[in-house]
Amino acid sequence: MLAARLYEPWKLVVEDIERPEPPHGWALIRSVAVGICGTDKAFFTGTYPLFKSPIVLGHEAVGVVEGGPAA
Ligand SMILES: [Zn+2]
């Protein structure tokens, strides 16, 4: 699967990564759309320090459940 990951300010890399495995009891969601907020913009421009690297920007997401525990 593809992911856009920020390694440092202004260094956004689109790359192939392994499909994540959700922890027990969690669901796997395929993102359809993701919003970028002011904090994400600050990470990108370097006005707010990255707390980890690489980071996938965007946390206001819309998606489809791909797998998880039965309801
Ligand atoms: Zn935000």
Report how far ligand 1's centroid is from the alpha carbon of 61 (Å): 11
CA 21 – ligand 1 centroid, Å: 24
Q: Domain extents for the chain?
A: 2-67
Tens of pLDDT along the chain (71 residues) come to 899 999 999 999 999 999 888 899 999 999 999 999 999 999 999 999 998 999 999 888 999 999 888 65
- Residue-level pLDDT at 39: 94
**CA–centroid distance, residue 57 to ligand 1 (Å):** 9
- The phi, psi pair for 50, rounded to 5°, reads -65, 135
Residues 6+ away with beta carbon under 8 Å from 17: 1, 2, 3, 5
In whole angstroms, what is the distance from residue 29 CA to residue 42 CA? 26
Max CA distance (Å), the chain = 43
Q: What is the pLDDT of residue 70?
A: 65
Q: What is the pLDDT of residue 68?
A: 84
Distance 37 CA to ligand 1 centre (A): 4
Distance 67 CA to ligand 1 centre (A): 26
